[in-house]
Amino acid sequence: MVHQITLIPGDGIGPEVIEAARRCVEATGVRVEWDRQEMGSGAFARTGDPLPDATLRSIERTGVALKGPVETPVTSGLRSVNLTMRQDLDLFACVRPCRLYPGVPSVYEAVDLIVVRENTEDMYTGIEFEMGTEATRELIGFVGGRSERPIRDDTGISVKTISDFGSERIVEFAFALAMEGGRRLVTAGHKANIMKFTDGLFLEVARRVAAEHPQMAFEDRIIDALCMQLVRSPDVFDVLVLPNFYGDLVCDVAAGLIGGLGVAPGGHVGERAAVFEATHGTAPRLAGRNRADPVGSMLSAAMMLRHIGETDAGDRLEAAIASVLAAGVALTADLRWPDDDRPAATTIEVADAVIAALRAA
């Protein structure tokens, strides 16, 4: 079987780390027909559109994409090209596995959890009102007439939206993921003690869904306490499910537990399509220097392989990456312990080492 997959190199270090991931996918023996598409600042410079319609149509057609980091040009008219993509394709679930691999520098001995982030609602809907505009003044007047707490005139406003529908499908997704992966616990993060009609709704729905899955342990934690406990004892968590804004923050906190964004994979999943990408940014200072860490993109590729049904290939690719990390030889500078004075490996050398490990297995 030949799989059709959309390939989006992206901006900055994107083309380098995605090329490394692409080579590793092909080294597993899975047959792939890549549909290379553009997105981000490079696409905007060439076409005048940071998210070309051809790119969205390709992802809809193939149902899956492997993507590099992208930059949103200030003059493009989009708040975020990534956010627009997720909303247009309804990629409602962001999945961030956070596993500490032997050999990766960390203050922890073991971390193995998954952050599931709602991807389309909350503070990231793009519904905002700029200070001083007529629309903002009208909104301030409306709220002031219906609230005991008036809003100052010199205020900018962002709207937080959480729905019963969006909450139910992300929590259901988290429980399904937990059960499929043999996990033991789902933890819902929230601030329902303060935001009773938004986070309160999310928590109410999470408890309702949890009651329908009595075979899975469930708990909820206020988000600030959750973050403290996550840093103190990450081993007490298994699967975290969070609204969009908190999920964004917790994903990066969790990445810090396992060695940084360079080794943190991710996927954005919807009913019609899924896009897999590392969690780091474009790192323009490293672009074109063959020094970027490709591990996050390669682990995202392993996630992608499992998603398309090539579970054995995905498992073999992850095992090969883990063996290279444990060996401690072909590592980029960000993965070296402070007292390791061996020369850092290049992006290409890391990919070559993973491919060699795949072939030797």
Positions marked active-site:
124, 191, 224, 248
How far does Cα 299 stand from its chain's mean position? 12
Outline where 90-191 has alpha helix (H): 134-144, 164-180
H-run or E-run covering 229: helix 223-232
Reported in sequence order, the residue ranges of 198-293 that DSSP labels E, i.e. its strands, are 217-222, 239-242, 267-269, 274-276
Instruction: For residues 353 and 307, give the distance between their C-alpha atoms in angstroms, rounded to a whole number.
Output: 24
CB count in 10 Å sphere of residue 182:
6
In Å, how far are 34, 255, 274 from 102, measured between CA atoms?
32, 15, 29
Contact of 356 with 327, CB cutoff 8 Å: no
Q: On the CB side of 20, how many CA atoms lie within 13 Å of its CA?
A: 29
